[in-house]
Amino acid sequence: MSSYQRRRGLTARVWKTAEHIDNRGNRVQIAEPADPHEVRCALIPQRSARAEVPGQQQINITRMIVDADLPGVTLWSRVEVLGTQWDIVTPPAYHHGTRRTRHWSIDIRERP
């Protein structure tokens, strides 16, 4: 069982991280869209800045709370929720507690 917000929250797709070799022969970490995790999550807005002048960029950062069983999710993963794609901006933080309350919190930023 998990908390009420994570049980009845939004559905999100979390892309796993995969290692690939680029054109120069370097090993790079990228988000692999094949076979993503389908999870329920709670979203908590953190901070945002609206682009009001041409050339500025809108920033929208949200904390996503999910169950603590997402193998293969790192800083290079990607999230698809609310009809848009988001980058992970901080490594997933594990919060230990009882089986019902343990979770990961992941800060995500909306892609421009």
78-104 pLDDT, tens digit each = 999 989 999 999 888 888 878 777 888
Question: What's the confidence (pLDDT) of residue 99?
Answer: 75
Question: What's the confidence (pLDDT) of residue 1?
Answer: 42
Please count the structural domains in the chain.
1
Phi-psi region of 96 (alpha: psi -120 to 50; beta: other; left: phi over 0): beta
**Which residue stretches of the chain have pLDDT < 50?**
1-2
Question: What's the confidence (pLDDT) of residue 24?
Answer: 93
- Name the DSSP letter for residue 96: -
CATH at 62 = 2.40.10.270
Question: What's the confidence (pLDDT) of residue 74?
Answer: 86
Question: What's the confidence (pLDDT) of residue 93?
Answer: 81
Structure tokens at 25: 């022969």
Question: What's the confidence (pLDDT) of residue 112?
Answer: 76
Rounded-to-integer distance, Cα 46 and Cα 101, Å = 21
Question: What's the confidence (pLDDT) of residue 7?
Answer: 59
Q: Is 18 helix (H, G, I), strand (E, B) or coil?
A: strand
The boundaries of the domain holding residue 54 are 4-110
- C-alpha distance across the termini of the chain, in Å: 35
